[in-house]
Copies of this chain bind each other. A is one copy, B any other.
């Protein structure tokens, strides 16, 4: 437990470069805002990676040295190269944690791991969201004071969210305009753990929200790979017991 948790915060990082208001909100990009929060947590190391870097910043070396990867993408999902997506999937199945944020629901990696369309409803009028804790003993809600928290202005995501039913449903959102959403969804996939977390938007200060950051931090800890997971044998095997007919 004394080894640091190594998080790589991945961001598409286009909006922040092409839109003045967004740049003002996240001058170094959303990834730096999230990484800075994580760096303040005991035992956590955070680096960043972005789409326009070589191999999207996700070289074999980086992936091998990543315990948990967080993912934010939106307008350029299609620019993410398939072979990088395959490598990320492989790493998740081997044990790397993956935290998918907001519009990352439509990323290649999330859709690939879910096997469904991951479609949903959306609306961008800056309405209020209230996220309710559904599983109050889950480590991802550690340290929340209340059983809900509010975000004053958000892009709405509404059900039907076309995902497999989560292994554990931690949060459900209420929206002013009349919708609900499964906003905190835990999955085991292979040896890896995946958490989808709804909040976030390029043009709103959501990654400055204390409870949103707290949950991202908790999720990184929850999704950490085992220090030592049992080795698995695949394919053709010899019997462990004598087989007589």
Which residues of chain A have a CB within 8 Å of any CB of chain B?
Answer: 1, 42, 89, 93, 95, 112-117, 119-123, 125-127, 130, 132-139, 141-147, 153, 156, 158-160, 162, 164-165, 167-169, 172-180, 182, 187-193, 225-241, 243, 245
Contacts and interface: CB of A to CB of B under 8 A. Distances in A.
A132 B160 contact: yes
Q: How often does this chain occur in the complex, in copies?
A: 4
Contacts of A121: 233-237
Nearest to A43: B1
B239 A117 contact: no
10 contacts: A89-B115, A127-B243, A135-B165, A142-B226, A142-B227, A147-B160, A147-B233, A172-B180, A174-B175, A179-B237
Nearest to A2: B42
Q: Which of A231, A232, A235 has the most CB of B within 10 A?
A: A232
A79 to B, nearest CB: 21
A127 to B, nearest CB: 5
Given A115-B113, A137-B193, A165-B135, A176 B239 contact: yes
B177 A125 contact: no
Q: Which of A1, A133, A143, A174 has the most CB of B within 10 A?
A: A174
A133 B161 CA distance: 10
A135 B73 CA distance: 27
Contacts of A190: 116-117, 136-137, 162
B182 A240 contact: no
A164 B164 contact: yes
A205 B173 CA distance: 28
A243 B177 contact: yes
B117 A176 contact: no
A132 B180 contact: yes
